[in-house]
């Protein structure tokens, strides 16, 4: 994966070229055929998924929600540091190309390139906080 392609991913956009390069060394490419399951709700969350190409249908029995995500989506970033179950199921709607950053690879990144690992966590946390705020606004109307 080239540095300019990684820069196109929202989660990695604000990182330096050197930080993206360090992260790229730990990324594992993968492909899914249409209809193939990436992960199921309740599975052990074992890392970050970056969707490069294709569409994933995300659904949750628990919350009763469903939606589609496309290229540039980042799924499961907090699972790099928080052990737990996946909150939803992700199924390929079309052929997908993606990159995994699994927890053991992230731990290597922490040892070998701590600044890149910290910046990745900062970006993931900002994305999470933004999503949480949107959810809160839906639950609590403005006064």
| Alpha carbon distance 98, 19 (integer Å) | 19
What does the pLDDT read at residue 142?
Answer: 66
Distance between first and last Cα of the chain: 47
Domain spans of the chain? 3-139
Topology of domain 3-139, CATH: Jelly Rolls (2.60.120)
Q: Are 75 and 96 in contact (CB under 8 A)?
A: no
The stretch 11-26 carries a mean pLDDT of 92
The structure's pTM equals 0.87
- Contact between 101 and 80 (Cβ < 8 Å): yes
Quick: pLDDT tens for 64-96. Answer: 777 899 999 999 998 999 899 999 999 999 999
Model pLDDT for residues 98-133, shown as the tens digit of each residue: 999 999 999 999 999 999 999 999 999 888 887 777
Residue 129's alpha-carbon distances to 52, 54, 138, in angstroms, are: 23, 26, 14
- Whole-angstrom distance, CA of residue 131 vs CA of residue 75: 12
């Amino acid at each position: 994966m080239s540095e300019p392609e990684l820069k196109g991913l929202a989660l990695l956009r604000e990182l330096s070229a050197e930080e993206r390069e360090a992260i790229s060394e730990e990324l594992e490419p993968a492909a899914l055929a249409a209809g193939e399951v990436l992960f199921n709700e309740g599975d052990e969350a074992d890392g970050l998924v970056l969707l490069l190409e294709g569409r994933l249908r995300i659904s949750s029995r628990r919350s009763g929600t469903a939606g589609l995500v496309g290229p540039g989506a980042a799924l499961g970033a907090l699972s790099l540091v928080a052990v737990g179950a996946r909150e939803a199921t992700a199924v390929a709607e079309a052929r997908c190309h993606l990159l995994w950053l699994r927890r053991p690879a992230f731990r290597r990144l922490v040892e070998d390139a701590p600044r890149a690992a910290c910046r990745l966590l900062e970006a993931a946390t900002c994305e999470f906080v933004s999503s949480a705020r949107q959810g809160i606004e839906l639950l609590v109307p403005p006064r």
